[in-house]
Each structure stands twice: as C-alpha cells, then as structure tokens.
Amino acid sequence: METALYLPVKRFLEKLGFTVKGEVGGCDLVALNGDDPPIVVIGELKLSFNLELILQAVDRAGAADEVWLAAKLSARGKGRESDARYRNLCRRLGFGMLAVTNTGDVEVLVKPPTSAPRRDPKKRSRLIAEHQKRKGDPVMGGSTRAPIMTAYRQQALACASALSGGPRRVRDLRAAIPDAGKILLHNVYGWFDRAERGIYVLTDAGHAALKRWPQQPMDLAAAGSPPP
C-alpha cells in the first residue's frame, strides 16, 4: 500500500529540517520548514511512477514551493523511474522524484529546481493553516479508506470528550477549545444536540466516535460545574 512509502519519505524530509504531516488538504503529505511564511513541500505517493502521479503533482503545484513524486523502486529497474522521458518531464514541470527501496531507503532521482513556482495563495494558506492546527501526525500519507483526522475533527472530538460526562455550556469549553461554539452549532458529524440555549449534550453518534477515536480526559474543573 502507498502508506508503506510514507514513513521513509517522512524521515527523508525530516532530515532536511521539515515538519511532516500526512493527508493534509488532499495531499499525501505536507512538510513545512521555517516561519512566516514557511517553506511548503508537497509529496505525492504511488506504488509506481505513472501518469496519474504527475497529474496529481500538477494539481498541487500552485500551493507549494516544491513538489516531490515518490514511488517504490521497481524490482528489476524497468519502471518509469528508468525512463529518461519520464524524468525529463518531471524536470520540465519542476517536480522532484524520490524512489523508495524495499529496505526503506530513499533515493533522489530528480531534484526540483530552485526557482520559485507559480503560487495559489489561497490554497497555500489553507494547507499551512491545516498543517499548523493539526495536533501531531495522526494519519499516514497515502491513506484512502479511513476518515482523515483533520484539525477540525480533532477539535470536534475534544468537544465530544468534554461532553461525555454530561451537558456543558459552550462558554465552559471555549478556554480549551476556542472554536467550540462553531463546532457545536454546525454539528457537521451529528455528534451533538442542543439541550437548551447555550447548552449541548453528546448524541449516540458522538459516544460511538469516542469509542472509535478514544480521547484523553479533559480537565474542565476551572470552567465550573456542569449545568443542572
């Protein structure tokens, strides 16, 4: 699976000083380095180098300073990574190529150019914001079948954890979860129900979500006791 390529590529970029997170904004991985504005690197993973991998990179290019295509190195060296036309196409498009061996080593086949590419500021800003808001690296790049643990889902789970002990006022949650009001109001996942004005409870779907994604208990003692 493509997820098997994620950790080797992540380690490769971390050695270059990047902070890497998987499945950010539809990209298999996003890596940031530096501050305000950070350098943005996008990586796309496939089991083999093919046209679809290049098309994905073209779609991502506007949001990144560098785009790397990563695929498994073919056993007999007869894959596209050995095709000079494929490598030259990546060079012309400004993409880097990484080959991952069976032992987890990463080989640089093509380096991306140093010249700055055209940028899509809005898309770039969304990727940076999602990367920075997301706690840890909860999803391996290349995942396709499981729901993505976005920063929004992480905050929604924090709200669910806070409500697992009973009804809570929105104002009691804002100190720990600044976006609690919006999350509870919009109720994207169906985890919450409004008991009365400003007070929410957890639904059966919310309890099921906590079983699927267990959370650390939240200390809300400073926020006061639950509403009667």
The runs of H, that is alpha helices, within 61-120 are 84-93
Query: Does residue 126 register a pLDDT over 70?
Result: yes
Strands (E), the chain: 19-24, 27-33, 39-46, 66-72, 95-100, 106-110, 168-169, 192-196, 199-202
Band of the pLDDT at 144, cuts 50, 70, 90?
Answer: confident
Are 87 and 79 in contact by the 8 Å Cβ rule? The answer is: no
Query: Does residue 65 register a pLDDT over 70?
Result: yes
Tell me the C-alpha distance between 19 and 27, whole Å: 15
- How confident is the model over 4-17, as a mean pLDDT? 94
Cα–Cα distances (Å) from 126 to 27, 59, 113, 178, 216, in that order, read 12, 15, 24, 19, 28
Tell me the C-alpha distance between 34 and 131, whole Å: 13
Band of the pLDDT at 199, cuts 50, 70, 90?
Answer: very high
Query: Does residue 164 register a pLDDT over 80?
Result: yes
What pLDDT was estimated at residue 35?
Answer: 74
Q: Give the dihedral of Cα atoms 39, 146, 80, 101; nearest 10 deg.
A: 80
Tell me the C-alpha distance between 180 and 26, whole Å: 24
Express each pLDDT in 39-54 by its tens digit.
Answer: 899 999 999 999 999 9
Query: Does residue 218 register a pLDDT over 80?
Result: no
Q: Please, what are the domains in the chain?
A: 3-133 (3.40.1350), 151-223 (1.10.10)
- How confident is the model over 108-133, as a mean pLDDT? 83
Band of the pLDDT at 161, cuts 50, 70, 90?
Answer: very high
What pLDDT was estimated at residue 219?
Answer: 65
- How confident is the model over 115-137, as a mean pLDDT? 82
Query: Does residue 220 register a pLDDT over 70?
Result: no
What pLDDT was estimated at residue 116?
Answer: 58
What pLDDT was estimated at residue 216?
Answer: 81
What pLDDT was estimated at residue 146?
Answer: 75
